[in-house]
Amino acid sequence: MRLAHKRNVQRKLRKFVKATPAQQRTTSEVVETKEVKIETVVTKPSVALTPKQQQVLDIVVANADGINPKGIGLSAGQEDSKAASWATGALKKLVELELVVKESIASNKVLYKAL
């Protein structure tokens, strides 16, 4: 039943779409090209950081040799079990804004350094 229906639908579509060779087609459209000069100005975005992001950025800047997310959370006064996850959200945004660099030391060890 399903194959027959599919076959019927395909047959109807072939009736509506009749392909003509490329030589027989007439093109009445003329495409005009215009040269447009685009000036790009590269500037650092001045993004307002949230208080949490600013606090994480200050902690990373204070540790020039690099600091891991758990160390950031602990220095911000978070509990030991929540420290790394607390800092991760703000660190992702700071890496995206290119204010902080993420460096992988080992397979699961990560340090963040300020630019």
Pick from 49, 47, 44: which is nearest to 91 by CA?
A: 49
Q: Looking at the domain covering 51-114, what would its CATH class be?
A: mainly alpha
User: What are the domain boundaries of the chain?
Assistant: 51-114
What is the residue-level pLDDT of the chain in tens, covering all 115 positions? 677 888 888 887 776 655 555 555 555 555 566 666 665 554 445 667 888 999 999 999 998 888 999 999 999 999 988 898 999 889 998 998 888 998 888 778 888 888 8
What local confidence, expressed as pLDDT, does residue 44 receive? 46
DSSP state, 48? Answer: P
Note if the pTM is more than 0.85: no
Backbone angles phi, psi at 59, to 5 degrees: -70, -40
